[in-house]
Structure 1
Amino acid sequence: MRPASLALTTVLLALLGMFGPFSIDTPFPAFAAMGEQFRVSDAAMQLVVSAYLASFAAMSLFHGPISDAVGRKPVMVTGAAVYALASIGCALATSLELLLVFRVLQGMSAGAGTIVSRTVVRDLFEGARAQQLMSVVAMIFALGPAIAPIMGGWLLLVGPWPLIFWFLAIFGATIAIAVLVLLPESHPREERSPLHVRSILGNVADVSRLRRFQVLSAAQAFSFAGQFLYIAAAPIFVVSLLGKGPQDFWIFFVPMVGGMVLGSFTNARLANRFDGHLLITAGQCVAITGAVTGMVLAFGPGAATLPWAVVGPTAIAFGTGISLPVYQLALLDAVPHARGTAASVSTFAMLLLNAVLASVVVPVAATSLGRLAATSLGLLLLGITLFHVHRVGARATPAPSLQPEVP
């Protein structure tokens, strides 16, 4: 692939991954205005996040297997187009119930870009080169959580909250056109599986039953959960606990995203020098150190003052940026004949956990800075424990393989 084509493909794959942070973080500054218009509580507004995440998780089981059967490109184009239509529905919603319906449709379609784009990286490249490209995609993708809430705050200065969803509609339509015109198909016809419901469900069930894949997926999900807890709690963390306003979300997202970008950059620089499992362990140790530091600061004097309030989340993001690209490649390589399915199942596990965090854990953990920091530390410790359980199992047993089904 020529350098110009590689650069264009890398940027486009990163933009496909931004459906997630744009969908979750851009509406955050508008939560107060939306809640006032719909006459609902802060707890009810959390459903705007959890409804999206739950539907994203449910549909994520199918985007990858369908892309294994029909190719990556048709799935990504269709998903982006449906996402644009769902965003228009959100902009026109006149009640929380109607907004949640279209948020569910947003979640069901957004995963087509987020999940399948990750598989394209592994289709095109191998080894350290794939890890480097995944890290570069992660660096660009990490800008999403910083840009999205700031852009949401700016859009609120221009007009009412539906303007945010009109922006998301334009974003989805632009991505659909760009993928259709610019992105090559990376999954050749001779390697595709049959497009049968029974075959797709069977592949999902087969991958889900792999014990080592289960443990590795859980390790990735809980390792990222330590950072996602702060992201899901951002409206409470920034406004209620730190006492800031709708235009102040940058004070949390900019340093956190800076940590994520720096972590991904570190991963790319070390890809040719260190084993992937060592990078995962190093990244998790950095994240846990950051979580402990954040908890100590949260229980100390001046906990709600800057920059101390964001030191912990920023360090956690740095560690996550180091480990996450390796996790994603390891999960794809665990099932080499069904990478789309592997991406779907692992994403389902992560997003199901994130939906629980947003709807159940955040309202309890975000009652104080100390409780939020302690919960994040607990999630990270569980993630690194599961990863080492996976490592012990990998040494004890050979890796299983799944062959593609024959129609």
Structure 2
Amino acid sequence: MNPDAGSLWRAPRWTLAVLLACLGMVGPFSIDTYLPAFSGIARALDATPLQMQQTLSSYLLGFAVMNLFHGALSDSFGRRPVVLWGMVVFTLASLGCALASTIGELVFWRTVQGMSAGAGIVVSRAIIRDMFPPSEAQRVMSQVTIFFGVAPAIAPMVGGVLFVHLDWHAIFWFLVLVGLALVVANWRLLPETLHKSQAQPFHVGSLMRGYWQLSTSRRFLLLCLASGIPFNGMFLYVLAAPVFLGEHLQLGPTQFFWFFCFSIGGIMGGAWLSGRLAGKIKPRHQIRHGFLIMLLVSLLNVALNLLLPPSPFWALPVIGAFAFGWALMVPVVTLLVLDQAPDRRGMASSLQACIGSAANGLVAGVVVPLVMHSTLALALASLATMTIGLVAWIKVKHEVGYATGPQES
């Protein structure tokens, strides 16, 4: 934690949470705004469904690759420069998407978007831990998740309106404006939270050794799996939204927002409760509650898909309940991940985001195309991703020394 943290941000704590949430919203806005226009973009660029799916997977893979560097660079050069340059590149990439005339160009600029968008969410996690002790950090992390949750609920509505009343290019012009707004806001408001005494020298050899130490840490990797993989139990529905919502649930482009209202409402509710529970119950108990909710909801989802025809009246609330369970536990697990490397939290955040994003990219490019044409297959895939995270957490919980971790010391 920065010893000067008290003097860096004198405004109310929630205002910093809003600023950091705005950085985190770049990711969901980059994905959710253009989903309602999927079919329109495909027609305009003469692209196949598989090629359109690659505009998602290329974004996620670009996000994963650069996430290895955003946090590590911020450990050496400071949080503020990495955030600002990331948002500048994101704005330019959004401009490239808006001007794309072929599917190849769109895939390329979507990759650049992904490579730059991660700067906000990765570095914002390190900023929280720079500024707050563990219990306060959990509350702020939960507040960030709440505010962050508004973006995916609004994004598909904005994208649907822009697509219907203008065209798909307008969606990416909108992202250009979002990027410019974030550049200006962070230039004027975001302080440098990395204390000079905590800055790490930038040496490639030292960086690679740090990554090797973290990537060979069993505890670190298990915590990354526990925090990131269950997210795909909900995210695969986001990635399959054009088929899941449009074909299976028979919703029009302007009705996609109902899906995001339920899913993001679940995230916001779980994050709010997570913040309320900070310091009141043991972190491992809170994580257990979140996984129990996800397990029960996943089993219910499979059962309903076996017994009933697809319907938004039961499918959307189930996804929202799953999101609630995930958001209840993920702020706690994320802080445990960062505290595995207290002197290189940026690096830890980078590697965590990289692992999670690589999993997201794999789900987008491989899993979703295989299961999106069956609601039962989607439910089973959701259960499988949740189970991976649950097994990882069970292994962490039974390791010697868990109870003396930074969160509970």
Q: Please tell me the TM-score bracket, short chain as reference.
A: over 0.9
Contact 1:66–1:200, Cα closer than 8 Å, also in 2: no
The equivalences for 1:92-107 within 5 A come to 92-107=99-114
Equivalent residue letter for 2:390 = I
SS in 1 for 2:398: helix
Question: CA 1:202/1:168 → structure 2, altered by over 3 Å: closer, same or farther?
Answer: same
Q: What SS does the corresponding residue of 1:204 show, helix, strand or coil? A: helix
Q: Partners of 2:148 and 2:88 in 1: how far apart? A: 20
Q: In the TM superposition, what are the counterparts of 1:173-322 in structure 2 within 5 Å?
A: 173-301=180-308, 303-322=309-328
Q: Does 1:141 align with 2:160?
A: no
Are the equivalent residues in 1 in contact too, given 2:223–2:337 (CA < 8 A)? yes
SS in 2 for 1:247: helix
Pick from 372, 376, 382: which aligns with 2:378? 372
Partners of 2:13 and 2:348 in 1: how far apart?
Answer: 24
Cα deviation per residue 1:201-248 (whole Å; 9 max; x = unaligned)?
232222212121011112222221211111211111111211222111
Aligned-residue offset at 1:177: 1.3
Corresponding position: 1:167 with 2:167: no
Deviations 1:266-325 (A, max 9, x none): 111111211111111110111111111222222223x32231121321111010110111
Aligned-partner SS, 1:193 = coil
Is 1:362 aligned with 2:365?
no
**Secondary structure in 2 matching 1:307:** helix
Q: Distance in 2 between matches of 1:399 and 1:273?
A: 17
Matched, 1:384 2:405: no
Greater shift, 304-313 or 94-103, is seen at 304-313
CA distance, structure 1, for counterparts of residue 216 and residue 301 of structure 2: 37
In the TM superposition, residue 104 of structure 1 has moved relative to its aligned partner by: 0.9
1:329 and 1:399, CA in 2 relative to 1: closer, same or farther beyond 3 A? closer
Using the TM superposition, give the Cα deviation of residue 3 of structure 1 relative to its aligned residue in structure 2, in angstroms.
6.5
Corresponding position: 1:158 with 2:155 = no
Identity of aligned residues (%): 38
Q: CA–CA distance in 1 between the matches of 2:215 and 2:72?
A: 13
The equivalent position to 1:6 in structure 2, one of 1, 10, 13, is: 13
Distance 2:400 2:100 in 1: 50
Larger mean CA deviation between 204-213 and 263-272 belongs to 204-213
1:259–1:317 contact (8 Å) kept in structure 2 = yes
Matched residue SS, 1:40: coil
1:102-147 deviations in whole A, cap 9, x for unaligned?
A: 1111111111111101110111001211101100100111122211
Q: 2:336 & 2:286 partners in 1: Cα distance?
A: 12
SS of the residue 2:167 aligns to:
coil
1:395 Cα deviation from its structure 2 partner: 3.5
* Aligned positions, number: 399
How many angstroms apart in 2 are the aligned matches of 1:221 and 1:127?
20
CA distance in 2, matches of 1:198, 1:322: 38
- Residue 251 of structure 1 aligns to which amino acid in structure 2? W
- Cα distance in 2 for partners of 1:276, 1:12 equals 26
> Scaled by the length of structure 2, what TM-score is found?
0.94
CA distance in 2 between partners of 1:182 and 1:399 (Å): 33
**TM-score normalised by structure 1 residue count:** 0.95
Answer whether contact 1:212 1:394 (CA < 8 A) is retained: no
- Tell me the CA shift for residue 371 of structure 1: 1.3
Instruction: Please provide the CA RMSD for this pair.
Output: 1.6
Using the alignment, how far apart are the partners of 1:205 and 1:61 within structure 2?
12
Distance 1:186 1:4 in 2: 15
Residue 343 (structure 2) pairs with residue 323 (structure 1): no
Distance 1:394 1:231 in 2: 37
2:29 corresponds to 1:22: yes
CA contact (8 A) 2:21 2:144 kept: yes
Task: Indicate whether 1:336 and 2:348 are aligned.
Answer: no
Contact 1:69 1:195 in 2 (8 A): yes
Q: Which residue of 1 aligns with 2:3?
A: none
**1:66 matched to 2:67:** no
Rounded Cα–Cα distance in structure 1 between residues aligned with 2:35 and 2:21: 22
Are 1:224 and 1:320, in contact at CA under 8 Å, matched by a contact in 2?
A: yes
Of 344, 347, 352, the residue aligned with 1:346 is 352
SS in 2 for 1:393: coil
* Kept after mapping to 1: 8 A contact 2:14/2:143: no
1:334 shift after superposition? 1.1
Amino acid at match of 2:71: G
Q: Which range is displaced more, 45-54 or 192-201? A: 192-201
Structure-2 change in CA distance of 1:397 and 1:157 (3 Å): closer
Q: Which residue of 2 aligns with 1:38?
A: 45
Q: Which residue of 2 aligns with 1:403?
A: none
Structure 1 Cα separation of the partners of residues 221 and 400 of structure 2: 12
Given that 1:292 and 1:312 are in contact with CA atoms closer than 8 Å, whether structure 2 keeps it comes out as no
